Amino acid sequence: MENKKQVVMLKIASELSSLSTCSRLKVGCVITDEKFNIISGGYNGSVSGYKHCKDINKEKKSPCICVHAEQNAIIRSNQEFKLNKFVFVTTFPCYDCLKLLLSFGVKKIFYINNYRKMEKQLELCKNIGIDTCRVNI
């Protein structure tokens, strides 16, 4: 049953990623408690009130102006930082998002796709005992 819940949460993250306005990478994120109750979700998109990245960065040459999916999920959460949480992401978090997630109380990371450079993130997870699990959906 637990594996089915992991797949469902990753499918929800994948659906959230379809709302992304980023021209480079569409990412979705769901944060749950340890019983898989959804706390929050997010997708990557431009800073609130600003033009969408996909509209102003069509050639993907300018620096991305998007807030990451994990950041948006944390911003939209009203949960305490102390509670143990799981995160479900379509792409493994970048180093900065990983640090935020760990500070937010995430104890396990489920993901679909590897991030382009993730050695540093995996090392940090290993060093502090955070489980990571790549799931095929």
At 87, list the tokens: 């995160």
Nearest to 52 by CA among 37, 38, 67, 41: 67
User: Please, which residues have CB within 8 angstroms of residue 86's CB and are 6 or more apart in sequence?
Assistant: 9, 31, 32, 33, 34, 36, 106, 107, 108, 109, 110
Q: Residue 106: count other Cβ atoms within 10 Å of its Cβ.
A: 22
**3-class DSSP assignment, residue 4:** helix
pLDDT band at 58 (very low <50, low <70, confident <90, very high): low
At 31, list the tokens: 């944060």
- Please give the residue that has the higher pLDDT: either 47 or 15: 15
With a cut of 70, say whether residue 112 has pLDDT above it. yes
With a cut of 60, say whether residue 57 has pLDDT above it. no
CA distance 66 to 123: 26
- Please give the residue that has the higher pLDDT: either 68 or 1: 68
* pLDDT mean across residues, the chain: 88
pLDDT band at 61 (very low <50, low <70, confident <90, very high): low
**3-class DSSP assignment, residue 118:** coil
With a cut of 60, say whether residue 75 has pLDDT above it. yes
- Residue 2 pLDDT: 66
pLDDT band at 73 (very low <50, low <70, confident <90, very high): very high
Q: What is the pTM of this model?
A: 0.89
**3-class DSSP assignment, residue 86:** strand
pLDDT band at 78 (very low <50, low <70, confident <90, very high): confident
**3-class DSSP assignment, residue 5:** helix
What tens digit of pLDDT does each residue of 15-44 get?
999 998 887 889 999 999 999 999 999 999
pLDDT band at 65 (very low <50, low <70, confident <90, very high): confident
What count of residues does the chain have?
Answer: 137
DSSP structure class, residue 18: T
